Chains A and B, each alone.
Chain A
Amino acid sequence: GENVEQHPSTLSVQEGDSAVIKCTYSDSASNYFPWYKQELGKRPQLIIDIRSNVGEKKDQRIAVTLNKTAKHFSLHITETQPEDSAVYFCAASDGGSTLGRLYFGRGTQLTVWP
């Protein structure tokens, strides 16, 4: 099955700085890559996703890039704010439009210091 590795496991940044979280995957059939944000004691929430026919996608302060050749994808958060503090999970799926199972990374605890 798919194996998703996520780094770093913890990340601390000053408010206003950028944060980058990286993930690699093993199965070249994977074609859907979502990112979830989980605040303490709450459910994971989808913040952005990308499909394999796209190299980059942006939504305000967050962006995701995908390198299919190298099998890695990254989350970029610019102008970080304290409310960005949470655990971020990357995931990969080979379901395409069928929405197969998600294989999750182990998560990155992001702390943004005021």
Chain B
Amino acid sequence: DARVTQTPRHKVTEMGQEVTMRCQPILGHNTVFWYRQTMMQGLELLAYFRNRAPLDDSGMPKDRFSAEMPDATLATLKIQPSEPRDSAVYFCASGKRTSHGYTFGSGTRLTVV
């Protein structure tokens, strides 16, 4: 089965540090999403891209979060500076225009202490 690959799987960092999460979408998928999952808020959309162009990043705190797709095989989500409230699981998902649904990656569990 084709997979969405996310790295790292786990990250523990101190408040104020920069965190970068990476995602390799399934080859040929042109739509990439970043979701954040917490117990309190559920699955929140942070940003998404189609053909590498950002379509919606309204769910992202702009002062500290940034999302990019430097090429079709890599999406990044960066937090600088990180805060304890950023602790969550961050999922990347990818899809294709004519396919059914999205495929989620295994997530990055971020803990900011």
The residues of A with any CB-CB pair to B shorter than 8 Å are 34, 36, 42-46, 49, 89, 97-99, 101-102, 104-107
Contact in complex: A45, B104 (CB < 8 Å): yes
Interface residue tally for chain B (C-beta within 8 Å): 22
B55 — nearest CB in chain A belongs to which residue?
A: A101
Contact in complex: B103, A106 (CB < 8 Å): no
Q: Given A97-B97, A99-B102, do A43 and B48 touch, yes or no (CB 8 Å)?
A: no
Contact in complex: B102, A46 (CB < 8 Å): yes
**Residues on the A chain within 8 Å of B43, using CB:** 44, 89, 104, 107
Contact in complex: B56, A101 (CB < 8 Å): yes
CA distance A51 to B14 in the complex (A): 45
CA distance A36 to B96 in the complex (A): 17
CA distance A106 to B41 in the complex (A): 8
Contact in complex: A49, B104 (CB < 8 Å): no
Q: How far is the CB of B94 from chain A (nearest CB, A)?
A: 10
Chain A to chain B: the 6 pairs with minimum beta-carbon distance, closest first: A43-B104, A46-B101, A104-B43, A34-B101, A106-B42, A99-B95
Q: Given A101-B45, A104-B42, do A43 and B105 touch, yes or no (CB 8 Å)?
A: yes
Q: How far is the CB of A23 from chain B (nearest CB, A)?
A: 13
B82 on interface, CB distance cutoff 8 Å: no
Q: How far is the CB of A52 from chain B (nearest CB, A)?
A: 14
Q: Given A104-B42, A104-B43, A107-B42, do A97 and B106 touch, yes or no (CB 8 Å)?
A: no
